[in-house]
Amino acid sequence: MTDRDTLGGMTSAISVRLDPEALRALAQLEATGLSRSEAIRRAILDSAARLQRRAALAAEVAALEADEDDRREMLEVAALMESMRAPG
């Protein structure tokens, strides 16, 4: 059996087919007092925000890896920390 929910009231409506795992997750969100539509909207927005944060972090990592001055300073700090390490 396929469970469907139609989102409306915003700018457009969509039909969503949910598998058992997604239905359980939706039920957890609804248990917090959210409507089905609000739970699905929030899940979509939260997921998109996580993707944007990951992309921004990946871009920052790539920029730092390409920054020779930063890499040199990182190696200098690592060497200093290693020299201060207790023997043994």
Average pLDDT value over all residues in the chain: 90
Over residues 6-30, the mean pLDDT reads 85
C-alpha 43/C-alpha 57 separation (Å) is 21
Domain ranges of the chain: 3-83
Residue 11: pLDDT band (50, 70, 90) is confident
Query: What confidence score (pLDDT) does residue 5 get?
Result: 61
pLDDT digits (tens, 9 = 90+) for 37-80: 999 999 999 999 999 999 999 999 999 889 999 999 999 999 99
CA distances from 28 to 48, 54, 71 (A): 20, 25, 45
pTM of the shown model: 0.63
